[in-house]
Structure 1
Amino acid sequence: MTTTDHAHDAPVLSRRQAILGGAFLVTAGTAIARVPHHNIDLLGDRKIDKLIPQRIGAWEFYSKSGLVVPPADQLKDALYSQLMTRVYVAADELPVMLLIAQSGGQTGVLQVHRPEYCYPAGGFTLVGRDVLPVALPGSRLEATAITATADDRTEQLLYWTRVGEDMPLTWVRQRWSVARANLKGDVPDAVLVRVSALTADREAGMATLTRFVQAMFASVPPDVRRFLDIDAR
């Protein structure tokens, strides 16, 4: 009796195993098919520090140090393909700090760090987050304006991010931009552009940063403007 029961059970177990095995294969095949393979990189093998001039409007390059940078965690090298930091000075303007970080490939695992992440990690408190439109020739750039304060430092920030062909204004939208591109099979590049000035006067600081951004776009060719802002002309 026992032998007969086992004989009847064996084919049932085999069919179940076959069905489960087939399901696992289909799932694995779907996952592989959805893995993004097409890299979109608007920078290519060019170097950011060669594309951004050392003179921008009234400002001239002064130094590479003094900026708040993304935390030196274990993901930093994998996260950024290039990271440029510069301080620009002008006779009748506030000094401006410029940071441009580029990642050659954005997935759902690694994404560019927005200032809302790296500044609090450096001990800053962020207040007054607003969207500040910056008029450019033939287009308008929507940048994020924030005031960062620490014990001995107040910094006015203006920044934006480009992910592939999107200009996300928030971390959630940035994640959605990456996910949408990945689902289409694309691995988009991304760039974070941040300008800042050391001043407690928010209005004066933002006015200075706006003029600097407008001068920067005027000083680079169309392909570099598109790398910085997909809508720029």
Structure 2
Amino acid sequence: MKDLFSKLPDVKIKTALILFVTSLIFLAIATSLKPQKHYSSGFDNFENSIPKEFGDWKEAPQLTPQVSLVSDTKSLQNQIYDDVIMRTYVNKDGAKIMLALAYVKEQRQDVKVHQPEICYPAQGFQMLSSKVSVFNMPVSSSPVVGKRQVYSGSSHQEAVSYWIRVADETLLTGIQMRLKIIEDGLFKGRLDDGVLVRVSSITNNESDVSKFYQLHDQFLSELTATVEGKFPGLLVPSASKT
């Protein structure tokens, strides 16, 4: 390229060409650093993607209002999330589970998915216990890491199980999520999506909590197996989407 420029008679033309080539180089670098694609599974929306009946479960009337998916009850969920669904399911034994899903198409440095330990206390609940848990979801391509929690409110207690998927991983903290988003944007050219998967059961007896957690695992295993068959990578990490 140096020989090419040396043969040009006009200094202005040489300068213009050098600037032009330099601009192309910087443009290529900027383009490579700019995220170009989503990790999203291409599903339509939760209402159409999440079945109202699967396995031993079917949708039931939601008699108890669920805890909001935002920390500020005055905020509108659709201002934060691209899609939200809240349902109650019941099995043949009459056991009820409340399901809440929140989806964000583009997770940026300001992580949009709110963790229950932020939302529940903001709405008057006190956290009684919290522990990290690995959920056995056979359809996931990597371990599904989340939390088991118990909250106490003015009228009832709730046993809560949840995880947050960011692209092809499940993460526990806001710092982990930010680092994941930055890393995938810089080195993989990807705008990550994110989803909160939360299930909860009303309990007023501490001795029943472990029983509800087992019920949560059964519910989530059947739910993910059903949903991931059509929309891989929506609720849990999927090898086909990495």
TM-score (norm 2): 0.74
Kindly indicate whether residue 215 of structure 2 is the aligned counterpart of residue 208 of structure 1. yes
* Equivalent in the alignment of 1:219: 226
1:114 counterpart residue number: 115
Deviations along 1:45-68, whole A, 9 cap, x unmatched?
A: 511121111113222101356211
> Paired residues, what number?
206
Q: Distance in 2 between matches of 1:39 and 1:79?
A: 20
The alpha carbon displacement at 1:134 in A equals 2.5
Kept in 1, the 8 Å contact 2:38–2:192? The answer is: yes
Cα distance in 2 for residues equivalent to 1:232 and 1:136: 14
**Cα-to-partner distance string for 1:102-141 (whole Å, 9 max, x where unaligned):** 0010111242111111111111111321122332336553
1:47 to 37, 42, 45: 45
Q: Report the AA paired with residue 213 of structure 2.
A: M
**Structure-1 separation of matches of 2:195 and 2:148:** 17
Aligned partner of 1:67 in structure 2 is 66
Q: Distance in 1 between matches of 2:152 and 2:165?
A: 26
Q: Report the 3-state secondary structure (helix = DSSP H, G, I; strand = E; otherwise coil) of the residue aligned with 1:227.
A: coil
The answer to whether the 8 A contact 2:125-2:153 is kept is yes
Give CA deviations for 1:23-57 in whole Å, capped at 9, x if unaligned. xxxxxx9xx77974423142435111211111132
The two structures, once aligned, show a CA RMSD in angstroms of 2.9
Aligned residues of 1:79 and 1:110 also touching (Cα < 8 A)? no
Alignment-mate amino acid for residue 210 of structure 1 = D
State the one-letter code of the partner of 1:155: E
Query: Structure 1 residues 110, 79: closer, same or farther in 2, change over 3 A?
Result: farther
Alignment of 1:81-230 (within 5 A): 81-137=82-138, 139=140, 140-184=143-187, 185-199=189-203, 200=205, 201-230=208-237
Alpha carbons 1:146, 1:158 under 8 Å: kept = yes
Structure 1: distance between partners of 2:215 and 2:225: 15
Larger mean Cα displacement after TM superposition, 33-42 or 217-226:
33-42
Question: Which moved further from structure 2: 146-155 or 63-72?
Answer: 63-72
Q: CA deviation at 1:153?
A: 1.2
CA distance in 2, matches of 1:75, 1:109: 17
* Structure 1 spans left out of the alignment, 5+ residues: 1-28
Partner of 1:92, secondary structure, is coil
Q: What percentage of aligned pairs have identical amino acids?
A: 26
